[in-house]
Chains A and B, each alone.
Chain A
Amino acid sequence: MNGGDEVVTAPAGPPQPLDWKFSQVFGERTAGEEVQEVDIISAIEFDKTGDHLATGDRGGRVVLFERTDTKDHDALRRDLERTDHPINRHPEFRYKTEFQSHEPEFDYLKSLEIEEKINKIRWCQTANRALFLLSTNDKTIKFWKVQEKKVKKISEMNLDPPKAVGNGCVASSSNSNSPTLCLANGGSSGNDFSFPPGGLPSLRLPVVTSQETNLVARCRRVYAHAHDYHINSISNNSDGETFISADDLRINLWNLEISNQSFNIVDVKPANMEDLTEVITSAEFHPTHCNMLVYSSSKGSIRLIDLRQSALCDSHAKLFEEPEAPGSRSFFTEIIASISDIKFAKDGRYMLSRDYMTLKLWDINMDSGPVSTFQVHEYLRPKLCDLYENDSIFDKFECCLSGDGLRVATGSYSNLFRIFGCAPGSTEATTLEASKNPMRRQVQTPSRPSRSLSSITRVVRRGAETSGVDANGNSFDFTTKLLHLAWHPTENSIACAAANSLYMYYA
């Protein structure tokens, strides 16, 4: 951390800021069109390969998109690689299918309505070209399989279809369990058929003629009745066998193949609910270590759990907290410290957390404080009172890391989202708007931050663009918030949700 100068002068240098361009939009709103509540996107997730993208919405639907630019260009790509040309294609997706994952329900025992809103989606291991994913609402997790199925078109039936239907009640196999059949050649009739050696030549098997296929989504398993509070996260384990689900007070461990039991591994519920001071806000498994997971809390702390230590992991292996700056405490301190999302970087060494005002990057080997802190919308600090009044202060923004771990991104208000470079020495801090013209709101950053500033430490609070906030006289719109976004696992491409529209950008 003391090598600021070194890093700047290192031969490679920090990566250049990316130039972001609009790629695609799905479900774009026309001017004046009112957004239906059920259409608002509430979850976005790329699969491990980046060839598929899933979104969930408040209406309980899951929509799948598939990448179109790789499949037919494999050969071409190989040629390009051989001649060492850069691949200047960017990921392009097309609508694949959608299905209704959750329906509104009513819990009669507790007199509670259970919303159908999809809180999280996680992809599971692909097998035989079938896609698998987990989706969850507040209470129930479901395991979906999406697969191409042949459209059946049967010919060569033994019986004419209408005739078969007409006599179906007599001869349907449901009552042919113990048929007595006298054959013409006098074969014995008994509890079962008897046939001449060589079989009966007049019988034939149905023939399927159609080769058409269509996509079918089937719910394979339902993991229900394990959460008293609202589920905020689900996360797969690297063992391909288990996953966790976290609600406000508990984390449960499931086996993907067993839906009728789960193990409670974390329980922070105090004996007396009046003593409750902290809730779980998000949880995620380590990308490669099967025994490690982290969860974040409403007090801004992150706990690392080692499943090997004990069956009930109420004591953490590590606690990551930022020491409070003396004298900075205010009424809002605790509220804005609440972590709304936590993600591991692909290598498993760094993790990213989002609280109301900042993004923080942590090294799992350093629990004394974050490695870097990025101000997302510092200009809102004077307005915290208003944000508290209209409840916006409780908005839960997600965050994401690029596949190479060099950049991080998160959303803000007015459909803006921000991208920061987190490589040593990087000063990249970009503001984009979720629209067809993402750079429209791009505020002019000071052309080059003074060297002395960047050399202090990487923990310097960057991107505090107080100057540009109201420069163009725009008042910020708290109703258009960009909560959900996801970074493509291998390329610089971001998918983000602005209300009911899914915008995609590339660089």
Chain B
Amino acid sequence: MSTVEAPLYPIAVLIDELKNDDIQLRLDSIRRLSTIARALGEERTRSELIPFLSENNDDDDEVLLAMAEELGVFIPYVGGVEHAHVLLTPLETLCTVEETCVRDKAVESLCKIGSQMRENDLIEWFTPLVKRLAAGEWFTARVSACGLFHIAYPSAPETLKTELRSIYGQLCQDDMPMVRRSAASNLWKFAGTVESAHLKADIMQMFEDLTQDDQDTVRLLAVEGCAALGKLLEPQDCAARILPVIVTFSQDKSWRVRYMVANQLYELCEAVGPEPIRTDLLPAYVRLLRDNEAEVRIAAAGKVTKFCQILSPELAIQHILPCVKELSLDSSQHVRAALASVVMGMAPVLGKDATIEQLLPIFLSLLKDEFPDVRLNIISKLDQVNQVIGIDLLSQSLLPAIVELAEDRHWRVRLAIIEYIPLLANQLGVGFFDDKLGGLCMQWLQDKVYSIRDAAANNLKRLAEEFGPDWAMQHIIPQVLEIANDSHYLHRMTLLRAISLLGPVLGSEITRSKLLPVVVNASKDRVPNIKFNVAKVLQSLISVVDQSVVEKTIRPCLVELSEDPDVDVRYFAVQGLQSIDQVTMSS
């Protein structure tokens, strides 16, 4: 066909593969579109590559997605912003495809390009594109159009602005719910660019239409934008226009809408100012905390601390605290769990007296909850608890809960509590820890579940880091080393794991005198699994101990293992020996 000079060969292949039958090759080519563009030069990129891509619109969605992404950063390759408009054509086609993620990416890229384009070019090229998409035959085009108005609007002349607002208004009343959803979720972006007079008239009208939509999913997205929209308005306008809508929404028939309100209410409070909060939003929030749908209460309970922070302590104690009490006894465990994860944050807001008097009983009842997630959520916020009520009071009620969780029959619960042990140790201090929790830490080393034993070994390492080698020598090492005589080989394996973790923390001297003998002893175990794990541990300890110890103790042991009848043992022993040699050579 044609001859290509040898140095051009790779780039020629790259171009040819834009149309390869193998999707992976096409994808690779598209991802290197910028390389192709540079090889063709700006002129030919504009006149050939871009038109070529515009027609390449019935490819697989994965390829189209990659193309939409690449084109978003393509301005330098077509010759800078004055030529940026040529990129609009291929992206416009991508805005109409059926796959949502491709459309979203194309819209994102169009926004990126549009925000760099010159004002005249926007009017000449970008705005007509938005209008074409908004009038698209298929809903896909109209869905995409909604996300582009905020780029086109600011630079448009007055008449065009009026037209754009009216088009957006039509999109808010489109026949297809998909288009109305897109209009609802993009409204606040568009609103941010509209002049305040029109914002109050046109945009608020659209907002009100959307809030009265028949489709729950549309109203849902209208709520989501409420807070952002509210922040664009003056506080008094926000209170007059948005607040009533929110209050209505908080009593919507659909629990999903109320759920959304419960999630958004806090942000809206920032927009309206203190007085409406007290008169309108607080009652609405209290209603949501007492909603009969558990999902709504979960969302509301999760925001209880944030909400209290913007209220005065009196209001919080008077209105919110009674609800919190009810929620702590809620019939749904998920509500209680959501509450447990945030409730301690209320303490600083309420002050010490109210906390001890009112919050502590709630906190204690949650700590005794029958559902482990609730207790775990409380324990994970332990540092906050400690600051408020002090360690003595805490430890009395805390310990039974911890012991119970430590023996929970769900291993994931045990795992979660193990992960909090270093935090607990830090809060409770050495003395308290030794008495009560030391035993538990050893018990986990012999758990039935591997993940727990592994986590327990890790836990020992973190404790040793926390309390130092001396403490570890006294409180961990003797008990751990006893496991060497355990009859269960899996427990002996855990010991080896613990040693490999503890060695680096405890340092060379303790490792040599205490840990190494145990490991060497284990090399004579009858179970091959133990033996090759010994080889692995020895390998990991090479860097911990002195060269002389390596030569005197580790090497002979490995040599012996390298003659073991078991192939795996020999393999790991040889690996160990090799790494000794490497260390020796490099030193």
Residues of A within 8 A of B (CB): 125, 127-128, 130, 132, 145, 147, 149-150, 152, 154, 156-160, 164, 167-168, 171-174, 176, 179, 181-184, 192-195, 197-200, 202-206, 208, 220, 238-242, 257, 288-291, 307-311
Given known pairs A160-B1, A184-B5, the reply for A173 and B29 (CB within 8 Å) is: yes
User: How far in angstroms is the closest Cβ of chain B from A134?
Assistant: 15
B15 engages A184 (CB within 8 Å): no
Q: Is B294 an interface residue (CB 8 A)?
A: yes
A279 to B558, CA, bound (A): 66
- How far apart are B37's CB and chain A's nearest CB, in angstroms? 9
Asked if B42 and A199 sit within 8 Å, CB to CB, the answer is yes
Query: Given A125-B139, A239-B215, are A159 and B58 also a contact pair (CB < 8 Å)?
Result: no
Q: CA A154 – CA B55 in complex, angstroms?
A: 14
A-B contact pairs, 9 of them (CB 8 A): A128-B98, A152-B21, A159-B16, A160-B2, A173-B32, A199-B43, A240-B177, A257-B100, A311-B294
The answer to whether residues A200 and B176 also contact, given A145-B98, A150-B58 and a CB cut-off of 8 A, is: no
- Report the separation of the CA atoms of residues A125 and B176 in the bound assembly, to the nearest whole angstrom: 10
In the bound complex, what is the Cα–Cα distance between A151 and B51 (angstroms)?
Answer: 19
In the assembled complex, the Cα of A203 lies from the Cα of B7 at a distance in Å of 12
Q: Cβ of A184 and Cβ of B9 under 8 Å apart?
A: no
Known: A239-B216, A290-B216, A310-B255. A171 touches B13 (CB 8 A): yes
* Contact A195:B216 (CB < 8 A) given known A159-B13, A257-B100: no
With contacts A174-B28, A240-B176, A290-B217 taken as known, whether A197 is within 8 angstroms of B39 at the C-beta atoms is no
Chain A residues near B97 (CB-CB < 8 A): 128
Give chain A residues whose Cβ lies under 8 Å from the Cβ of B24: 174
Contact A206 B10, CB 8 Å, known A200-B40, A310-B255: no
**CB-CB < 8 A to B139: which residues of A?**
125, 127
| Nearest Cβ on chain A to B81's Cβ, whole angstroms | 18
A339 → B minimal CB distance (Å): 28
**A238 with B215: in contact, given A202-B4, A309-B255, A311-B293 (CB under 8 Å)?**
yes
The answer to whether A128 and B138 touch across the interface, beta carbons within 8 angstroms, is: yes
Which residue from B35, B58, B138 sits with its C-beta under 8 Å from A192? B35
Q: For the complex of A and B, list the 3 residue pairs with the smallest distance between their C-beta atoms, beginning with the closest.
A: A199-B41, A158-B12, A308-B254
* CA gap between A204 and B10 in the complex, in Å: 13
Range class of the B interface residue count: 35 or more
In the complex, chain A residues whose CB is within 8 Å of the CB of B16? 157-159, 164, 206
Partner of B39 from the list A154, A167, A195, A257 (CB cut-off 8 Å) is A195
CB-CB nearest in chain A for B99? A220
For B4, give its contact among A159, A168, A182, A241 (CB under 8 Å): A159
Structural contact, B217 and A291, CB atoms closer than 8 A: no
Q: Collect the chain A residues with CB atoms within 8 Å of residue B19's CB.
A: 152, 154, 206, 208
Q: How far is the CB of B94 from chain A (nearest CB, A)?
A: 12
| Contact assessment for B38 and A173 in the assembled complex, using a CB-CB cutoff below 8 Å | no
Asked if B488 is at the interface (CB within 8 A of a chain A CB), the reply is no
Q: How far is the CB of B62 from chain A (nearest CB, A)?
A: 12
* Contact (A171, B40) CB under 8 Å given A202-B4, A203-B15, A205-B52: no
8 Å CB contacts to A: which residues of B56-98?
A: 58, 96-98
Contact flag A159-B48 (CB < 8 Å), given A152-B19, A239-B216, A240-B176? no
**Contact in complex: A159, B12 (CB < 8 Å):** yes
Question: Is the C-beta of B25 less than 8 angstroms from some C-beta in chain A?
Answer: yes
Q: Is the CB of A202 within 8 A of B5?
A: yes
Q: Identify which of B96, B100, B214, B292 contacts A290 (C-beta below 8 A).
A: B214
Tell me if B356 is interfacial: C-beta within 8 Å of chain A: no
Q: Is the CB of B48 within 8 A of A205?
A: yes
Residue of B whose beta carbon sits closest to that of A184: B7
Find chain B residues with CB under 8 A from A184 CB.
5, 7
Identify B25's interface contact among A174, A192, A307, CB under 8 A: A174
Give the distance in Å from the alpha carbon of A154 to the alpha carbon of B293 in the complex: 60
Could you tell me the distance in whole angstroms from the C-beta of A492 to the nearest C-beta in chain B? 26
CB contacts (< 8 Å) of A241 on chain B: these are 177-178, 181, 217
* CA gap between A119 and B296 in the complex, in Å: 36
Query: Which residue of A is nearest B32, CB measured?
Result: A173
Let me know if B364 is at the binding interface, CB within 8 A: no
Is B516 engaged at the interface, CB distance under 8 Å to the other chain?
no
The listed residue (A149, A168, A181, A220) touching B7 by CB distance below 8 A is A181
* Contact yes or no, A173 B4, CB < 8 A: no
The answer to whether A199 touches B8, judged by C-beta atoms less than 8 angstroms apart, is no
Verify B11–A172 contact, CB threshold 8 A: no
Which of A157, A176, A291 sits near B254, CB closer than 8 Å? A291
- Is B267 among interface residues, defined by CB-CB distance under 8 A? no
B465 at interface, CB cutoff 8 A: no
Task: Name the B residues within 8 Å of A203 (CB-CB).
Answer: 4, 8, 11-12, 15, 39-40
List B contacts of A171 (CB < 8 A): 9-10, 13
B18 within 8 A of A: yes
For residue B59, which residue of chain A has the nearest CB?
A149
Bound-state CA distance A130–B25 (Å) is: 25
Q: Which residue of A lies closest to B254 (CB)?
A: A308
Residue B437 is within 8 A (CB to CB) of chain A in the complex: no
Partner of A208, one of B55, B178, B217: B55
* A residues in contact with B214, CB < 8 Å: 288-290
- Is A199 touching B40 in the complex (CB atoms < 8 A)? yes
